[in-house]
Amino acid sequence: MEEVKKKKGRLLTVANVLLCVILLPVIFINVAVIVNSYVHPEEIPGLFGIKPVAVLSGSMEDTFMTGDLIFIKGTDTAALKEGDVICYLESGQAVTHRIIRTELNDQGETVYITKGDANNAEDQKAVETGQVQGIWTGGRIGGMGSFVLFLSSTTGMIVFIVCPVVLFIIWD
């Protein structure tokens, strides 16, 4: 009987360590992204130069799908060229489309003409260099964008940040 109690105790210890190993980085990353979004409200928040973006529309299907989580990284806009997939802010919304050509605007500045792969027409407005948040790295996790959107909701934050912290405190 004593042997069974010791095994259960060891299993609980291992479970505690695994929960800490999993939950602490998740909490750290969430807090860092949230703080980053308040420190730089004009940018998509990220960590270590990588910015996760949830795909909200099908304009880039089959490259990536609605509900996917894609990863963009900052880039030198002077290095952007036709065919690059960029993420930019348009009226506060992140848009990820492919550059189909570059042009000079009336002030002689480079602008990018973009188009979604699944769209029939190019985007109406040219993208200015200051709008560009980064270039798509090719990384994506199918369906994870929907989960990230849930995480950013009040319910998601309670379920995945508040509850784990409370459980961690109670458990310890």
Band the pLDDT of 123: cuts 50, 70, 90. Answer: very high
- Residue 95: other Cβ atoms inside 10 A: 22
Q: Please determine, for residue 131, whether its predicted confidence score (pLDDT) is greater than 80.
A: yes
Contact between 78 and 70 (Cβ < 8 Å): no
Q: Which stretch of 20-29, 44-53, 105-114 has the lowest confidence by average pLDDT?
A: 20-29
137-172 pLDDT, tens digit per residue, is 888 888 888 887 887 788 887 887 788 778 778 876
Q: Which residue has the higher pLDDT, 3 or 50?
A: 50
Provide the whole-model pTM: 0.73
Distance separating the N- and C-terminal Cα atoms of the chain = 25
DSSP code per residue over 29-45? HHHHHHHHHHH-TTS--
CA distance 134 to 136: 7
Give residue 1's pLDDT.
Answer: 65
Closest-CA residue to 64 (of 87, 30, 82): 87
Q: Say which DSSP state 126 is in.
A: P
Average pLDDT score over the chain:
85
Q: Please determine, for residue 33, whether its predicted confidence score (pLDDT) is greater than 90.
A: no
CA distance 46 to 148: 13
Closest-CA residue to 74 (of 33, 126, 132): 132
pLDDT cut 70: percent of the chain above it: 97
Q: What angle do CA 121, 126, 130 make, to 5 degrees?
A: 140
Q: Please determine, for residue 97, whether its predicted confidence score (pLDDT) is greater than 90.
A: yes
